Structure 1
Amino acid sequence: MATFIIEGGHQLKGSIQPQGAKNEALQILCAVLLTPETVTIHNIPDIIDVNKLISLLEKLGVKINKIGSGSYTFKADEVNMKYLESAEFKEDGKGLRGSIMIVGPLLARFGKGYIPKPGGDKIGRRRLDTHFEGFISLGAKFRYNREDHFYGVEADRLKGAYMLLDEASVTGTANIVMAAVLAEGITTIYNAACEPYLQQLCKMLNRMGAKISGVGSNMLTIEGVDALGGTEHRMLPDMIEIGSWIGLAAMTKSELTIKNVSWDDLGQIPDVFRKLGITIERKGEDIHIPAHKDGYEIQNYIDGSILTVADAPWPGFTPDLLSIVLVIATQARGAVLVHQKMFESRLFFVDKLIDMGAKIILCDPHRATVIGHDFKSSLKATTMTSPDIRAGISLLIAALSAKGTSTIHNIEQIDRGYERIDERLRAIGAKITRVS
């Protein structure tokens, strides 16, 4: 288990380039299973979760060639379906939440797909019903082995269907779309997720020969085709990392430029941070954050009531950034209610911030009220353990703003979602050391 030693209280300065989007990568990489032809993908982040999926694809028989930094070719012309029934696959698949999205492509192309109950963050229940109900609607037979938590779907040929998803699940929508592109007839998915990474997947599939319309809306219509071909794809910058750097700049009173952020795909993210009092300047495709020497003030609603920041399906605010909002608010002028609707365990890291001196009231598993210090009282350094990716980066930001030297254990959780984060932070002046 590795550890970060962080000397906080230093101002940072410079520019930082966001990595490729983790959540897009997990979808796009699974889609290479839909064709025997070569698929070239650029801007793949070098992070644990993505590398685990690449390794899993390789064990499935996908020919993988690294052609440059973040660029790979994939050729799934000799997929080894026997691997899916091996003990090794049952172990490999458990360690990665995104592995669920291999099921749709395998079911569509080979008539069967299996997966052990996936792991990932311990942030609450993340049910898989939406995925499998979609496959069943397309004509697949579902089975579940309760003893070893192993799921399976099988079908000779999927047939298009109309379906109303019970929730606008991003991974569920992606999985069903990848199954439907090779189904016979027309599939209509209502209450589909429509976030930018799902749009990216649909655009890539269309370049491969799929016929998907309604991209960017909550109703997708998919006309099934017999086969898909190869393509080339470049992933968007990671919006969660962009939001993390905005939070870092505010908490450390640093002047930072975040490069090539793809502004049109950020949705409400800049506006939510502006409501927290943070100055965000657009310079072309870059975000410039000036040093907030006098702090930042949270806006109340027009009637004077306390601001609430809550997550919602796209184009609402992403739940992955609520932990960043919570940390930023600890040093703001004013107060904010953070409402995490989706996961019931994601706010449980606030006890660590309270230990650092933050004023936070955990109202229930989903809501926390934060009263900001306005930098009149600094957070104090402490020793903590990262429980998941997003809490981990929030604790890291808190440590970089705190006075004294903090220790964060279990930083593999941070490495799951952030590429070479200690190196990149040191490049802009952070005092951070990785210790094995």
Structure 2
Amino acid sequence: MGTFKIEGGHRLQGEITPQGAKNEALQILCAVLLTAEAVTISNIPDIIDVNKLIALLENLGVKIQKKGEGSYTFKADEVNLDYLQSEAFKRDGRGLRGSIMLVGPLLARFGKGYIPKPGGDKIGRRRLDTHFEGFIKLGAAFRYNREEYFYGVEAKKLKGAYMLLDEASVTGTANIVMAAVLAEGTTTIYNAACEPYLQQLCNMLNRMGARISGVGSNLLTIEGVEKLGGTDHRMLPDMIEIGSWIGLAAMTRSELTIKNVSWENLGLIPSVFGKLGITLERKGDDIYIPAHTEGYEIQNYIDGSILTIADAPWPGLTPDLLSIILVVSTQARGEVLIHQKMFESRLFFVDKLLDMGAKIILCDPHRATVIGHDFKSSLKGTTMTSPDIRAGVSLLIAALSAKGESTIHNIEQIDRGYEAIDTRLQAIGARITRV
């Protein structure tokens, strides 16, 4: 188990470039299974979860050629379907939440898709019903082995259908879209997710020959086609990492420039940090954050009541940023209520922040009230263990702002979502060592 040693309390300065988007990568990489032709993808982040998925594709028989840093060509012209029934697949697929999105493309092209119950972050229930209900509506037969926690769907030919999703699941929508593009007839998906990464997937599939309309809305119409071809695709920068660096700059009162952020795909992120009193300046496609030497003040609502920041499906705020926003609030001037609606275990990391001296009231598993220190009292360094990707980075940001030395164990959780985070932070002046 790896460890970070952090000497906090130092200001940072310089430029940092966000990696390719993790959540987009997990969708886009699965989509290469929809065609026998070559698909070239660039700006792929070099992180544990993505590398696990690439290894799964290779074990499935996908030919993979590295073209350069973060750039690969995939060719799925000789897929080994026997691997799906192997003990190796049951073991390897279980360790990655994103492996669920292999099912849609496999079902669409080969008539069957299997997956062990996926792992990932321990942040509460993350049910798979939306995925499989969508496949069933397209005509697939579903089976589940309770002893081995092994799911399967099979169909001789998928047929288009109308469906109203029970939740606007991003991965569920992506999976159903990838199944529907090769189905016979028209599929209509209402209450579809419409995140930028889902839009990226749909646009890529359309370049491959799919017929998807309504991209960017919650109503998708998919005219099934016989087959798809190859394409080139470049992934967006990771909006969660961009939010992480905004929070880091504010907490450490540092002057930072975040490069090439794709402003038009950030949604509410800049305005939410603005409500915490953080100054962001747009310079071309970069975000410039000046040193907040006088701190930052949380806005109240116009009637004077306390600000609530909550997650919601796009174009609402992504739940992946609430942990970072909570940490940033601990040194703000004022109070804020953080409402994590989607996952009931994601706020449980606040006990580590309490040990560091933060003022937080955990109201229930979904809500926490933060009373900011306004930098009049520093957080104190301590020893912590990273419970999941986003909480791990939030604790890392807290440690970089804290007085004294901190130790963070189980940093493999952070490495699952952030590429070479220690060396990139060292380049802007952070005192962080990987042990």
Whether 2:179 is the aligned partner of 1:179: answer: yes
Give the counterpart letter for 2:91 in structure 1.
Answer: E
Quote the Cα distance in structure 2 between the aligned partners of 1:295 and 1:18.
25
TM-fit CA distance, 1:196 = 0.1
Structure 2 matches for 1:187-336, cutoff 5 A?
187-336=187-336
Equivalent position SS for 2:237 = coil
Segments of structure 1 that go 5 or more residues without pairing to the other structure are none
What is aligned with 1:117?
117
Equivalent position SS for 1:189 = strand
What is aligned with 1:369?
369
TM-fit CA distance, 1:97 = 0.1
What is aligned with 1:60?
60
Quote the Cα distance in structure 2 between the aligned partners of 1:64 and 1:336.
48
TM-fit CA distance, 1:151 = 0.1
Determine what percentage of the aligned residue pairs are the same residue.
Answer: 86
What is aligned with 1:346?
346
Kindly provide the CA deviation profile for residues 79-121 of structure 1, in whole angstroms up to 9, marking residues without a partner as x.
Answer: 0000000000000000000000000000000000000000000
Quote the Cα distance in structure 1 between the aligned partners of 2:67 and 2:158.
35
TM-fit CA distance, 1:300 = 0.2
Structure 2 matches for 1:332-411, cutoff 5 A?
332-411=332-411
Structure 2 matches for 1:123-162, cutoff 5 A?
123-162=123-162
Quote the Cα distance in structure 2 between the aligned partners of 1:102 and 1:384.
35
Q: TM-score, normalised by structure 2?
A: 1.00
Kindly provide the CA deviation profile for residues 236-288 of structure 1, in whole angstroms up to 9, marking residues without a partner as x.
Answer: 00000000000000000000000000000000000000000000000000000
What is aligned with 2:15?
15
What is aligned with 2:36?
36
Quote the Cα distance in structure 1 between the aligned partners of 2:288 and 2:195.
24
TM-fit CA distance, 1:203 = 0.1
Q: Count the aligned residue pairs.
A: 435
Equivalent position SS for 1:159 = coil
Equivalent position SS for 2:18 = coil
Quote the Cα distance in structure 2 between the aligned partners of 1:351 and 1:152.
40
Quote the Cα distance in structure 2 between the aligned partners of 1:320 and 1:243.
9
What is aligned with 1:78?
78
Equivalent position SS for 1:377 = coil
Whether 2:4 is the aligned partner of 1:4: answer: yes
Quote the Cα distance in structure 1 between the aligned partners of 2:252 and 2:430.
10
Give the counterpart letter for 2:321 in structure 1.
Answer: L
Quote the Cα distance in structure 1 between the aligned partners of 2:171 and 2:275.
29
Segments of structure 2 that go 5 or more residues without pairing to the other structure are none
Equivalent position SS for 1:248 = helix
Quote the Cα distance in structure 1 between the aligned partners of 2:157 and 2:342.
34
Quote the Cα distance in structure 2 between the aligned partners of 1:255 and 1:211.
45
Kindly provide the CA deviation profile for residues 33-83 of structure 1, in whole angstroms up to 9, marking residues without a partner as x.
Answer: 000000000000000000000000000000001110000000000000000
Quote the Cα distance in structure 2 between the aligned partners of 1:329 and 1:268.
17
Give the counterpart letter for 2:156 in structure 1.
Answer: D
Please, what is the CA RMSD of the aligned residues?
0.2
Kindly provide the CA deviation profile for residues 166-215 of structure 1, in whole angstroms up to 9, marking residues without a partner as x.
Answer: 00000000000000000000000000000000000000000000000000
Quote the Cα distance in structure 2 between the aligned partners of 1:198 and 1:92.
25
Give the counterpart letter for 2:402 in structure 1.
Answer: A
Equivalent position SS for 1:19 = coil
| Consecutive aligned runs of 4 or more in structure 1 exceeding 4 Å deviation | none
Kindly provide the CA deviation profile for residues 328-363 of structure 1, in whole angstroms up to 9, marking residues without a partner as x.
Answer: 000000000000000000000000000000000000
Give the counterpart letter for 1:183 in structure 2.
Answer: A
Give the counterpart letter for 1:97 in structure 2.
Answer: R
TM-fit CA distance, 1:407 = 0.1
Equivalent position SS for 1:160 = coil
Equivalent position SS for 1:125 = coil
TM-fit CA distance, 1:296 = 0.1
